[in-house]
Amino acid sequence: MKDFPAAYQVSEGSALSVDRPFYERIAAETGGRTLVESFTVPIRFGRAWSVPAGHVFRIVAPEGPQVGDLNIWNRHDPRERLWAARTRQLQGAHVTTHDRLWSTLPFLRPLVTITADSLSHYGTDEYGGRVHDLLGTRCDPYVNKLLTGQDFHFHCHSNLVRAVMPFGLTEFDVHDVLNVFQVTGLNHDDMYFMRDCPAKPGDYLEFFAEIDLLCALSTCPGGDLSVPLWGPDARDPIDVCRPLAVEVYRLAPELTEGWQSPGVAPYRGQHGLRPEKGWWDKA
């Protein structure tokens, strides 16, 4: 099969161009960081938290392989949230260091930039799988009911719903996710597949908050995805479920000197619409 160039190309100075030295300094100079919040998300559970602009947060696999489903919103306006489809086009179906997660229209700006990824070495495996997936989405009780006929209330969708309720959000605010630590791809039939998670104890994915954020994370009830979830060999993978940890850090002020949150997309064209004038308006 031949290769073909990406549709969206990065050019010097464009909106897709990333100041790599800036983010590399943030990743490297950890001595001046201050831990402002840390917690563990138990198995089959969800948790939401805030991250101020200019801070970093890490998602850590403290006990080994475990997939986590991540949602992100603008802390002050949840209508602005992670846009997985556009991020796939602008960055890739799987993300790593220096990639950004972009927000929905009409905002269209980076919510976070990935500053460090302990699994960046994974690359592409023998099946074409890669890690940190935007290709699929969260598991949910609706699909589960369709496929199994059973109710199960601890899918990632449900975990995220419960997690954001204290922040005034509802099921309608939960959206397509970044599947952290999850290996996925498309097989020869162009069908989505999920492989067992490669994370080892201590592996992490780190993000720089470009704006004030509300984040939510679910520890997937499929655990490390080494057990089939549907089909003739499916069983409850409770024995391969592990917790995830979150750490939020304030950076040394000199690291973000001169940085500012990105503005929303500058387009203000009203989509070509113009209000119709009344007969009395002669202007």
What would the pLDDT profile of 50-105 be if each residue is shown by its tens digit?
A: 999 999 999 999 999 999 999 999 999 999 999 999 999 999 999 999 999 999 99
pLDDT per position as a tens digit, 101-110: 999 999 999 9
> At 36, which helix (H) or strand (E)?
strand 34-41
**pTM more than 0.85:** yes
For the segment 1-11, the average pLDDT, to the nearest whole number, is: 88
**Percent of residues, the chain, with pLDDT higher than 70:** 100
Contact between 219 and 43 under an 8 Å Cβ cutoff? The reply is yes
Contact between 211 and 112 under an 8 Å Cβ cutoff? The reply is no
Sorted by where each begins, the domain ranges of the chain are 35-256
Smallest CA-to-CA distance from 137 within 91, 65, 85, 97 is with 85
pLDDT for res 231: 84
For the segment 205-234, the average pLDDT, to the nearest whole number, is: 95
User: Is the backbone peptide bond immediately before 52 cis, with ω within 30 degrees of 0?
Assistant: no
Classified as helix, coil or strand, 144 is: helix
More confident residue, 171 or 273: 171
**Is residue 11 very low, low, confident or very high in pLDDT (cuts 50, 70, 90)?**
confident
What's the chain's average pLDDT? 95
Which residues, in sequence order, are bridge partners of residue 248?
37, 57
State the virtual CA torsion across 29, 32, 37, 42 in degrees, nearest 10: 40
Q: What is the C-alpha separation between 222 and 235, in angstroms, rounded?
A: 10
pLDDT for res 283: 61
Q: What is the C-alpha separation between 56 and 33, in angstroms, rounded?
A: 9
Q: What is the C-alpha separation between 84 and 158, in angstroms, rounded?
A: 19
For the segment 17-25, the average pLDDT, to the nearest whole number, is: 96
pLDDT per position as a tens digit, 159-193: 999 999 999 999 999 999 999 999 999 999 999 99
pLDDT per position as a tens digit, 107-120: 999 999 999 999 99
pLDDT for res 65: 98
- Distance from the first to the final alpha carbon of the chain: 61
Q: What is the C-alpha separation between 24 and 15, in angstroms, rounded?
A: 19
